[in-house]
Structure 1
Amino acid sequence: MQALDPQTAYSSSAVLAASSEDNAKASQQISDLAREVASEFSTTTYAPMMVRGLIQLGDFAVLTTIGLISSSFMGGSVLAGIHLPLAFSAAGALLFLLFMLSTDGYAVHEMHSLAPQVGKIIGAWTLVTVLFLLVTYLSGTPIDENRSWLGLWFFAGISSIAAVRAIQAYFIHHWQADGRLERRAVIVGGGQPAADIIQSLENQVNNDIRICGIFDDRDDDRSPAIVAGYPKLGNVDDLVEFSRLCNIDMLIVTIPVTAENRVLQMLHKLWVLPLDIHLSAHMNKMQFRRRSYSYVGNLPTVPVFAKPIANWGSLLKRVFDIVISCVTIVVLSPVLIGTAIAIKRDSEGPVIFKQKRLGFNNEEVLIYKFRSLYHNQSDEKAAKSVTKGDSRVTKVGRFIRKTSIDELPQLFNVLLGTLSLVGPRPHVPHQLTDNRLFEEVADGYMARHKVKPGITGWAQIHGWRGEIDDDNKLKQRVQHDIYYIENWSLALDLYILAVTPLKLFNQDGAY
């Protein structure tokens, strides 16, 4: 799902004008009812698109493997005298996927039962086999050369896919019952417009949208406490806190765009959340370009903000993190061991320093670093930034901080999933500069938490690291972090990792 371009909707740069007062309000306590509802949606969900894609990849792998095994036992997979087991097996698996897609055979909401799928599997695989026989005939290849292979591949393929589907149907049935295959939505704006949208969504066949509640700033007859059977859980400030207590996927704003100021004020508060945000076009005659419309089910919407690094991007980034961090730990193990020994010999205290930082969606995470300060002067809450010539820093600590070696234990945070290799650097909760909270100094600061924090990032390789002794340094960090979030790609992560050793080694600003 793509967000609109800046000419079509509100851009992130415009929303950066959000005031720090909005952030302060967002941290207020929500109602007991909202907290109770949030607890009901705290379980992790699985994106249907991801589940469907993984099932398709599984089918391709199973049928290709069985084709190769069948060829090794029976010979065959011959075309015009050329033995092509891998090409034939992969082509057959790909054709099966295409035939299944043509019959909507990968509709996740229908996969909770095996019986309806068996007919589609047999039909699609039969078409593949018939097509192969036709190709064999037209190429002049004697049918005897491929008969045994095709026969074994046909029966083994159907049996294997059916067995895999039975296992998948079991899990999908339970995931649907547990609400793990639903897309969770919150309605922003109440009254009759919200009721119309709820009715439209609930009347759709095979609807996978789950309404979690309604939030509205109004508190009058236009916004009753109950709308279409759903309670109003609070105002928009409450929604920011609510979304951090549960797993929701999207916000659907029902407020007419003619109420421009009200919509913009809401987006000021909501854009920092790692969610898809849609303006409903259900009851508005909106003048956006047709290509700008998206659909939530059958509900026409205009996407304003898209969740960054979602679905396949999230999976690719996670696999990338695990592979690269494992390799790096092995390669740098002499450095890790040597640093640990040096710290232990240099001063008393533990080798590893643990500290709470703010992670994804503003949640606290525990990160690891090599200890660089004297143990009795450790500053877990970062009440005082480390400055040049700071007496709290040990001899070894001064070197490992300058070279960023002290950050290497965070590779284990990456394996645990609390950090990513690349992302905004995590800060200590309620960190201050000049007796002001970071979010009070830099507009859009909380948007840094829309993605998982990282060991290194776009801001760090551009020199914005180390001590924060003036407002501009923090603002530059935030602006660079937001640029990274809005322009993420695996290639960008590779670039940042490649230049990090060159940019961070012996860089000014790190003490």
Structure 2
Amino acid sequence: MYMKVKRVMDIVLSSLGIVILSPVFIVLIIAIKAESKGPVLFKQKRVGIHKKHFDILKFRTMRIDTPKDTPTHLLENPEQYITKVGKFMRKTSLDELPQIFNIFAGQMAVIGPRPALWNQYDLIEERDKYGVNDVPPGLTGWAQINGRDELPIEVKSRLDGEYVKKLSFGMDVKCFFGTIVSVVKSDGVIEGGTGTGVNKELASTKENSSK
């Protein structure tokens, strides 16, 4: 029942977001085009609900000669590919704003596990253990406010599994406001690295888990 209500909320919130944030979209589009050649939007194949693929939308933050379908943390010296505007957008998560259209189209939700790249087979397999691939991916989620890029795959998948297990309006509200705090503080953002650090609480959780 909640999933139906959640979808209605996603439609309402994404519709409002498209209207309210339209001036921000215009400013970012102008900034992107002024700094570098190439399209404004970046499309990338991601894994959606039931492992169905879809094209996620982002504002382009890297040069057009960046290797395709390669996670940033796997690039050698990723900073060389990131534009100045792109670095700002990544730090503030503004590059994720076009995903509002993915949410409106029903490919994503406002809150949910972040969609994996189609070729992140280890992450997809680990998420299968917790039923994470059977819920709509989100713009932000429980793992994002508990470590983001700092989390190794095992911990990230477990946190996503916790979200699925506790999926409710209260959990979504907690993730929503937790995201605002994380974005303001730029928590867990590490260019060129993922799974490189885990805070003591998460490390303890990992040690005490039966997974």
TM-score by length of 2: 0.81
Corresponding residue SS for 2:65:
helix
Q: Given residue 328 of structure 1, which amino acid in structure 2 is its aligned partner? A: G
- The 5 A counterparts of 1:212-223 are none
| 1:358-379 per-position Cα deviation (integer Å, ceiling 9, x unaligned) | 0100111111000011012152
Aligned residue for 2:183? 504
Q: Give 1:446 deviation, angstroms.
A: 6.7
Residue of structure 1 equivalent to 2:9: 320
State whether structure 2 residue 150 is matched by structure 1 residue 462: no
Q: Is 1:361–1:451's contact at 8 Å kept on the other side of the alignment?
A: yes
Query: Mapping of 1:191-210 within 5 angstroms?
Result: none
* Rg comparison, structure with higher value: 1
How far 1:382 sits from its partner (Å)? 3.3
Matched residue type, 1:460 = Q
Residue 342 of structure 1, aligned match among 18, 31, 43: 31
* Distance (whole Å) between structure 2 residues aligned to residue 509 and residue 473 of structure 1: 13
Aligned to 2:169: 490
TM-aligned CA distance change 1:424 to 1:484, over 3 Å = same
What TM-score does the superposition give when structure 1 sets the normalisation length? 0.35
Q: How many residues align?
A: 190
Identical counterparts, % of pairs = 38
Alpha-carbon separation, structure 1, partners of 2:84 and 2:34: 11
Structure 2 runs not aligned, ≥5 long:
192-211
Q: CA RMSD in A?
A: 2.2
Deviations 1:309-352 (A, max 9, x none): xxx21210001001111122222222211111111111100000
1:448 has 2:145 as partner = no
Equivalent residue for 1:359? 48
**What is the deviation of 1:498?**
2.0
| Paired position in structure 2 for 1:402 | 91
Partner of 2:156: 477
Secondary structure of the structure 1 residue equivalent to 2:80: coil
User: Would the aligned equivalents of 2:143 and 2:156 in 1 still touch at CA under 8 Å?
Assistant: yes
Q: 1:168-207 maps to which residues of 2 (within 5 A)?
A: none
Q: Which residue of 2 aligns with 1:438?
A: 123
Whether contact under 8 Å (1:356, 1:366) holds in the other structure is yes
3-state SS, counterpart of residue 425 of structure 1: coil
SS at match of 1:375: coil
Return the letter of the residue paired with 2:31. A
Change (3 A) 1:333 1:314: same
Residue 497 of structure 1 and its aligned partner are, at CA, apart by 1.3
Matched residue type, 2:123 = F
1:416 aligned partner? 105
Report which structure shows greater RCO (CA 8 Å, sep ≥6).
2
Where 2:13 maps in the other structure, the secondary structure is: helix
Which has the larger displacement, 361-370 or 443-452? Answer: 443-452
Letter in 2 for 1:333: S
Q: Distance in 2 between matches of 1:508 and 1:397?
A: 17
Cα 1:446/1:385, change in 2 over 3 Å = farther
Kindly indicate whether the alpha-carbon contact (under 8 Å) linking 1:430 and 1:438 is maintained by their aligned counterparts in 2.
no
Whichever residue aligns with residue 168 of structure 2, its letter is: S
8 Å CA contact retained: 2:39, 2:60: yes
Deviation at 1:504, TM superposition (A): 2.4
Paired with 1:342 and 1:422, the residues of 2 have a C-alpha distance of 28
Q: Deviations over 1:199-223 (max 9, x none)?
A: xxxxxxxxxxxxxxxxxxxxxxxxx
- CA deviations on 1:101-139 (whole Å, 9 max, x unpaired) are xxxxxxxxxxxxxxxxxxxxxxxxxxxxxxxxxxxxxxx
Unaligned runs of 5+ in 1: 1-311
One-letter amino acid of the counterpart of residue 447, structure 1: G
User: For 1:84-106, what per-residue CA distance to the aligned partner results, in whole angstroms no more than 9, with x for missing partners?
Assistant: xxxxxxxxxxxxxxxxxxxxxxx
